[in-house]
A and B are shown apart, each in its own frame.
Chain A
Amino acid sequence: MAWLAKLSTKQKVLLGAFLYIGTTILLLAVAGSQGKNEEFKPQNEFKLDNWIPIHLGPADLSINKAVLYLFLASALTIFAMVYIARRMQMKPNRVQAAVEAAYGLTKNQITGSNLQGSYAAKWFPFLATLFFFIAFTNIIGYLPLPTNTEHEVSIFGLSIPSFAIYAASANISFSLALTLVVWFSYHIEGVRAKGLFGYLKSFLPAGLEDMNPVGKALIFVIELLSQFMRLVSLSVRLFANILAGHLLLLFMGGGLAVLLGVAALGVLTFPLAFVFFVLEVGLIATLQAFIFATLSGIYIGGAVAETH
């Protein structure tokens, strides 16, 4: 390996790129294309089969994969927080330090900088729970499991449903339900703080005192519409981020190669799948939880703030 050390950085990079693309081309020449694969249905990763059907009239409350992941995430949230809180030490170990840092983030950044005084104390548990619950839901969605397939897995004769890399937050019902809770709670809190008419009046931005009534009414309608747009933006942001991340991992991690029947494509895309996996787990999963909780804090803070 002495000749490798003699190369300059530029030459090493060129050699690496040449090997990377060369392997792909070589494999393409050797393996060729098997034609399009019609049987493989990668979208089955997001399909929800009813495991325990529960039907209450028109409402379908069946237990499926997403519900199981939600239960897991909520159990993990409660267990992790209670366990750490019970075993607090003066000299924190690594896990306690990490949880304390996350607690400080929810306390200072998410709640403290958006809500004042008694409102911060009142809404801190809600916002912190939102943050930890969404973060855990996102993160357990990235656990690669041995039963990671689109089919049912047979273990000792039992057919076990597959647990692919699936996140409950890749489903719009999850984020929409959380968004509705946030949306109604901040409107109700605003009405309680200012009264119904006072709250509606506070939709108008400051500095419009000299405007004629028609203009004021128009701006009021726009502001009212923006309140409903918050429902869409808050829910779609979380769900689309996670869904796009999972689709990207699915296609880069071999789905594209199998679907098109070109094995050589896998060599090209698989390293990228690692890069995206690190990005998704390290940044996007926590960042989206942070954004959701922060925006909830901003909305609640805006609803109760004195007219400015």
Chain B
Amino acid sequence: MDLIAPVAQAASGVTDTGVKDAGKAIALGVGAGLGSIGAGIGIGFIFGKEIESVARQPEMKDDLQSIRWLGFALTEAVAFYTFIFGLIAFFL
């Protein structure tokens, strides 16, 4: 096996570092991509519910505004956590 593996690698053009790099790139792409799905759904919920609430009680609009931005930023940060972990996977 020790003899065959390097030859097979050389023949196919696939190297260890190449596979490793590909894995890292996939980790960054898939990780950050899947993470933003969740954050996207969450942000949609926040703005949707806010519109619903303002439609029901327009006098609450000013109070809801600051809560909406707080919720937006907290949810949006989830996407960035996955992005940072993706970067960690990519560079380490």
Point out residues on A near B: beta carbons under 8 Å: 109, 113, 233, 236-237, 240-241, 243-244, 287-288, 290-291, 294
Q: Shortest Cβ distance from A286 into chain B, in angstroms?
A: 10
CA distance A142 to B12 in the complex (A): 46
Instruction: Given contacts A240-B80, A240-B84, list 13 more A-B pairs with CB under 8 A.
Output: A113-B66, A233-B81, A237-B73, A237-B74, A240-B83, A241-B77, A243-B84, A287-B69, A287-B72, A288-B73, A290-B69, A291-B69, A294-B70
Whether the Cβ atoms of A236 and B70 lie closer than 8 Å is no
A–B pairs, 28, beta carbons within 8 Å: A109-B66, A113-B66, A233-B77, A236-B77, A236-B80, A236-B84, A237-B74, A237-B80, A240-B77, A240-B80, A240-B81, A240-B84, A241-B76, A241-B77, A241-B80, A243-B84, A244-B80, A244-B83, A287-B69, A287-B72, A287-B73, A288-B73, A290-B69, A290-B73, A291-B69, A291-B70, A291-B74, A294-B70
Q: Shortest Cβ distance from A46 into chain B, in angstroms?
A: 11
Kindly list chain A residues whose C-beta atoms are within 8 Å of the C-beta of B70.
291, 294
Whether the Cβ atoms of A236 and B69 lie closer than 8 Å is no
Q: Nearest chain-A residue to B63 (Cβ)?
A: A113
CA distance A233 to B78 in the complex (A): 9
Interface flags, B48-92, vs A, CB<8A=1, else 0: 000000000000000000100110111011001101100000000
Kindly list chain B residues whose C-beta atoms are within 8 Å of the C-beta of A240.
77, 80-81, 83-84
Whether the Cβ atoms of B77 and A237 lie closer than 8 Å is yes
Q: How many B residues touch the partner, as a band?
A: 10 to 19
Kindly list chain A residues whose C-beta atoms are within 8 Å of the C-beta of B74.
237, 291
Kindly list chain B residues whose C-beta atoms are within 8 Å of the C-beta of A241.
76-77, 80
CA distance A237 to B76 in the complex (A): 9
Q: Nearest chain-B residue to A240 (Cβ)?
A: B80
Q: Which of A113, A240, A243, A244 has the most CB of B within 10 A?
A: A240
CA distance A241 to B73 in the complex (A): 10
Q: Nearest chain-A residue to B65 (Cβ)?
A: A109
Kindly list chain B residues whose C-beta atoms are within 8 Å of the C-beta of A243.
84
Q: Shortest Cβ distance from B53 into chain A, in angstroms?
A: 18
Q: Shortest Cβ distance from A296 into chain B, in angstroms?
A: 13
Q: Nearest chain-A residue to B74 (Cβ)?
A: A291
Kindly list chain B residues whose C-beta atoms are within 8 Å of the C-beta of A288.
73
Kindly list chain A residues whose C-beta atoms are within 8 Å of the C-beta of B80.
236-237, 240-241, 244
Q: Shortest Cβ distance from A108 into chain B, in angstroms?
A: 9
CA distance A240 to B83 in the complex (A): 8
CA distance A132 to B77 in the complex (A): 21
Kindly list chain A residues whose C-beta atoms are within 8 Å of the C-beta of B76.
241
Q: Shortest Cβ distance from B78 into chain A, in angstroms?
A: 9
Kindly list chain A residues whose C-beta atoms are within 8 Å of the C-beta of B69.
287, 290-291
Whether the Cβ atoms of A236 and B81 lie closer than 8 Å is yes
Q: Shortest Cβ distance from B87 into chain A, in angstroms?
A: 8
CA distance A291 to B69 in the complex (A): 8
CA distance A74 to B84 in the complex (A): 27
CA distance A287 to B72 in the complex (A): 10
CA distance A233 to B74 in the complex (A): 9
Q: Nearest chain-A residue to B82 (Cβ)?
A: A240
Q: Shortest Cβ distance from B46 into chain A, in angstroms?
A: 13
Kindly list chain A residues whose C-beta atoms are within 8 Å of the C-beta of B84.
236, 240, 243
CA distance A291 to B70 in the complex (A): 6
Kindly list chain B residues whose C-beta atoms are within 8 Å of the C-beta of A294.
66, 70
CA distance A236 to B82 in the complex (A): 11
